[in-house]
Structure 1
C-alpha cells in the first residue's frame, strides 16, 4: 500500500542571518540558498525517504523551477505522475529567513499551487487504487483539499490533516479527517485555545473530539506533544538535538506519521516515530533536502538507545 499527498510544491529562497532586521532596517546576512520545498512536496519526500511508496498531487509552473522541483521529487522516489504543469501561474515560491536560534519567518507566494483544481483531484484519484492514507495541508485551494478528502473517504483511505498554515485552515476539513496534527498557533486559530502545557493540549484535543475528530496530536514545539486517541492520551517528550533549521520539521513529522499509519501502527507508536524524524530534520538546513532517510533514522535510534518497541517496526 502507499500514501497519497495533496499539497503545495514551492522553491524555497532561504536567507540565513544572526538576527532578523527590524522594520525599515537593512542588515547583512550570512548566506542564501535555494531549496526545493512546499509543505506537500516536503511531506511526500519524507514518506519516500522512509521507504514508503507515495503519490504527489500538486502543481508547478512551466518554468525552470518547476522542472527542478519535479526532478528533486523523482530523485527521492516520489511518484510525480499527478503533478500538474500550470499554463497560468509560475511555480510557487517561499521567501524564508532563518536566525541563529534556527527559528524562521516565511513569506509564501502560492503561484501554481492555486491552480490545483477539483478536476485535477478527481482525475488523479480515479487512477489511484492502492493507496491507504491521504495526507493533506492547507497551502492549495480549500475546495481542492476538501474534494481530495471526500474522495479519499469514498475509497476507504485514512485521512491525516496537517492544518497548516493557520491562515488557510477551514473547519469544514474536520468533517473528513481521521486525525489532525495542529501546532500551538494552528490550535489557537481553530479553537481559541492557547496551548501552553499538557492540560491545555488535552482541552484542545477534547474539543476536536467534540467536533468529530477523535484522534489528534497537539504539537507544542520544544515542549513535546500530546497524542490523543478516543479518550486515551500520551505525552511525548521532545528529543534534544542541535538545531540548525526548523523549516520543514512539521512536514517531516507529518510524512513520518502517515508512513507509520500506512504500515499499520497505532497513533501513539506512529507519533513517537514521527517525533524522531522531526527532530532529525532540524539538524540540517533545507526543508526538503534536510529530511532524513530511514537509514539515518535507524542510526540515530541506535545512538540514542531507542528500542524497536518504542517506535515503528522499521526502526
Structure 2
C-alpha cells in the first residue's frame, strides 16, 4: 500500500541554545547538529517507519548533503528512485534554533527544491495513480504542488495538504486538497482567525470549508491539542502530555501517521488520534528523521500509558 509524497528534502543545521538571541545579539549555543530533514522527506520517513510503502518525489543538489539525504531516506526504506539531482543549485537547507523549552525557529533556504517542476510530476503520474494517499507540502514551487494535487484527484487518490509555509499557496488553491492540516499559525495566515482554543480553531475550520471548499481539516494547536473537522461535524482531541526534547518534525510525524491511517481506511477522527500519539512520541526524541518512531516503538509507548489506537491488538 503506497503513500506518495511530493515535497522538500533538506539538511537541517540545528543549533541548540538556552535562549534565543534578540536581533543584533551574539550568544553562545551548546551544540550544532546536521540532521536530515525537509518536510517531504520527514513525512515519507514517517510513513515508511510506520510500515507503509513510501516514495518521495523531490530534488536535491549534486553535493554531499544530497548524497547523505538520499542515503538516509533509503536506509529508512523510502523509495528514492524519483529524487532528481540538480547541477545548478545546492541541496536545500534549514537553519534551526532550538531553545531549552524545545521550541524551534526555522529559516528555510529552498535550494534545489525550487527545481522540482510539473514535468517531474507527470513522469511519476502512474505511481501517483496507484497510491492510496498523496502527501503535499509547500517547500516546493506552488505550481508543482498544485499540479500534483490535481493529478492525484483525477486518479481518485486522497490528497492531504500540509500548508507549510502558509504563504506558499493561495486560499483559492486549497480546494485541490481533500484534507488540510494547518497548525495554528498557518490557520491564521489562511483565514485571518487567531487560533487560541478549540472554538477559534472551529471557526477557522468552518472558514476553510465555506471559503476554500475544504470540508475536512485538522487544526493543530501543539500542546493545546487539535480540532478535527469533517463535513460540518467536529471533535476536539487533547494533546498527550510528554516532556518535549525536540519539536522539529512533530508536524511531519503527525502528517505521515495521518496518511497511514487514512490509507488503511480509518475515519479522520481515528486517524487524528493515531497521529496525535505518533507526534507526541516524536517530540520526546531528538532530530527530525532519526526521532520519528517506528510502529513497534509507538505500540510500546501506548502500552506504557494504556493508550489504544486503531492498530492496537
What's the TM-score once normalised by structure 1's chain length?
0.97
Q: Which residue of structure 2 aligns with residue 301 of structure 1?
A: 302
- 1:229-240 pair list within 5 angstroms: 229-240=230-241
Indicate whether 1:225 and 2:226 are aligned.
yes
Q: Which residue of structure 1 aligns with residue 143 of structure 2?
A: 143
Indicate whether 1:278 and 2:279 are aligned.
yes
Structure 1: 5+ residue runs without aligned partners?
none
Q: Which residue of structure 2 aligns with residue 180 of structure 1?
A: 180
Greater alpha carbon shift after TM alignment, 24-33 vs 6-15:
24-33
Q: C-alpha distance in 1, partners of 2:268/2:31? A: 39
Give 3-state SS (helix, strand or coil) of 2:156's partner.
coil
Q: Which residue of structure 1 aligns with residue 243 of structure 2?
A: 242
Q: C-alpha distance in 2, partners of 1:224/1:127? A: 34
Q: Which residue of structure 2 aligns with residue 312 of structure 1?
A: 310
- Aligned residues of 1:142 and 1:170 also touching (Cα < 8 A): no
Q: C-alpha distance in 2, partners of 1:113/1:172? A: 23
Q: C-alpha distance in 1, partners of 2:128/2:155? A: 10
Q: Please list the CA deviations of residues 127-174 of structure 1 after superposition, one character each: whole Å capped at 9, or x if unmatched.
A: 444211000010000000000001101111000011011232322431
Q: C-alpha distance in 2, partners of 1:314/1:260? A: 12
Aligned-residue CA RMSD in angstroms?
1.1
Q: Which residue of structure 1 aligns with residue 266 of structure 2?
A: 265
Q: C-alpha distance in 2, partners of 1:312/1:171? A: 33
**4+ long deviations beyond 6 Å:** none
Report how many residues are paired.
Answer: 312
Indicate whether 1:154 and 2:154 are aligned.
yes
Q: Please list the CA deviations of residues 181-201 of structure 1 after superposition, one character each: whole Å capped at 9, or x if unmatched.
A: 111110110110111111111
What's the TM-score once normalised by structure 2's chain length?
0.97
